[in-house]
């Protein structure tokens, strides 16, 4: 059993409406795609993907949607947070011509992957989508890194009107791509896996309620194949994602009760 290591909040930056980046001075040594369990004493412990990382610090992106994430979003420099990990699989970099498809805070772990891929000479098209312009994240970071950026919004307030997967289908019909990586809302990930199936290799990063985070409690097992998303995931090949029949249909809450999506 690994106990949480207490790390100190160094700074907090606003990313978009309700979304913050929280930085800690700590050499985490995570692979892009891995996550940490973040513990707020007297509150709870929840998984968060690593979105930023250098030898001196790492950062998490928190979208305030419920009790834990609202409290986490309000931490201030000097506050202490418990961290376990990094845990889980990372993305596997293969090929040179890559496409990243990010939705919401899921874009963070892909931006970290893009950082690594660019250092290895890869060419990256980054599709970022949101419901509206004010919810788009990391667009400046992605442009500054040197990726080709395509934005999509459901309401057409910025970029192409529609879904990230519309932009992905268009791109795949026009260009040859070596691999697609995706992280974001579950229905988007399923569609990405379907669009890529049989055409191009892809990996998607999935989410399920996690308790232990390292494979012993079984809470993050998915039907019907039973893999533990904290160990055999969260990043899985697209073909594996397509075998998980609960994706897009239901997930299990803290008590293990099924909740329809």
> Which residues lie near ligand FES (CB under 6 A)?
210-213, 215-220, 228, 230
Nearer to ligand FES, 77 or 218 (CB): 218
Task: Work out how close the CB of 214 gets to ligand FES at its nearest, in angstroms, rounded to a whole number.
Answer: 7
Task: Work out how close the CB of 169 gets to ligand FES at its nearest, in angstroms, rounded to a whole number.
Answer: 33
Nearer to ligand FES, 51 or 213 (CB): 213
68 binds, among ligand FAD, ligand FES, none (CB under 5 to 8 A by kind): ligand FAD
Query: How far apart (Å, rounded) are the C-alpha atoms in residues 121 and 183?
Result: 22
Q: Give percent helix, percent strand, percent coil of the chain, each to the nearest 5.
A: 25, 35, 40
Task: Work out how close the CB of 121 gets to ligand FES at its nearest, in angstroms, rounded to a whole number.
Answer: 35
Residue pair 109/255 in contact by the 8 Å Cβ criterion: no
Query: How far apart (Å, rounded) are the C-alpha atoms in residues 158 and 133?
Result: 5
Residue 145's φ and ψ, nearest 5 degrees, are -70, -25
Task: Work out how close the CB of 170 gets to ligand FAD at its nearest, in angstroms, rounded to a whole number.
Answer: 26
Nearer to ligand FES, 128 or 241 (CB): 241
218 binds, among ligand FES, ligand FAD, none (CB under 5 to 8 A by kind): ligand FES
Binding site for ligand FAD (CB under 6 A): 35, 46-49, 60-63, 65-69, 105, 108, 207-208, 210, 234
Q: Return the beta strands (E) in 64-117 as ranges.
A: 80-87, 97-103
Task: Work out how close the CB of 81 gets to ligand FES at its nearest, in angstroms, rounded to a whole number.
Answer: 19
212 binds, among ligand FES, ligand FAD, none (CB under 5 to 8 A by kind): ligand FES
Q: Residue 231 is encoded by which pair of tokens?
A: 């160990």
Which candidate, 179, 172, 212, 163, places its Cα nearest to that of 2? 212
Residue nearest to ligand FAD according to CB distances in the complex: 66
CA distances from 11 to 3, 122, 168, 239 (A): 24, 31, 35, 39
Task: Work out how close the CB of 93 gets to ligand FAD at its nearest, in angstroms, rounded to a whole number.
Answer: 19
Query: How far apart (Å, rounded) are the C-alpha atoms in residues 243 and 230?
Result: 17
Residue pair 37/84 in contact by the 8 Å Cβ criterion: yes
Q: How many CB atoms lie within 10 A of CB 35?
A: 29
67 binds, among ligand FAD, ligand FES, none (CB under 5 to 8 A by kind): ligand FAD
20 binds, among ligand FES, ligand FAD, none (CB under 5 to 8 A by kind): none
62 binds, among ligand FES, ligand FAD, none (CB under 5 to 8 A by kind): ligand FAD
Which candidate, 49, 86, 44, 50, places its Cα nearest to that of 69? 44
């Amino acid at each position: 059993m690994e106990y949480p290591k207490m790390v100190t909040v160094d700074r907090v930056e606003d990313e978009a409406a309700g979304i913050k980046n929280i930085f800690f001075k700590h050499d985490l040594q995570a692979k892009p795609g891995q996550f940490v369990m973040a513990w707020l004493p007297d509150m709870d412990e929840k998984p968060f993907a690593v979105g930023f990382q250098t030898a001196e610090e790492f950062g998490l992106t928190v979208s305030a949607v419920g009790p834990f994430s609202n409290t986490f979003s309000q931490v201030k420099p000097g506050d202490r947070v418990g961290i376990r990990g990094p845990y889980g699989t990372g993305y596997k970099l293969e090929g040179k011509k890559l496409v990243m498809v990010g939705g919401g805070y899921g874009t963070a772990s892909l931006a970290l992957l893009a950082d690594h891929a660019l250092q290895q000479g890869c060419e990256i098209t980054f599709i970022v989508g949101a419901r509206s312009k004010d919810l788009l994240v990391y667009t400046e970071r992605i442009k500054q890194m040197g990726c080709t950026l395509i934005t999509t919004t459901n309401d057409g307030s910025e970029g192409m009107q529609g879904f990230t997967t519309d932009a992905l289908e268009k791109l795949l019909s026009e260009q040859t791509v070596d691999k697609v990586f995706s992280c974001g809302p579950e229905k988007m990930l399923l569609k990405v896996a379907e669009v890529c199936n049989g055409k191009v290799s892809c990996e998607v990063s999935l989410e399920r309620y996690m308790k232990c985070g390292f494979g012993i409690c079984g809470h993050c097992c998915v039907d019907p194949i039973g893999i533990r998303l904290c160990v055999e995931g969260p990043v899985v090949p697209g073909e594996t994602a397509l075998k998980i029949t609960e994706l897009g249909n239901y997930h299990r809450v803290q008590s293990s009760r099924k909740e329809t999506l």
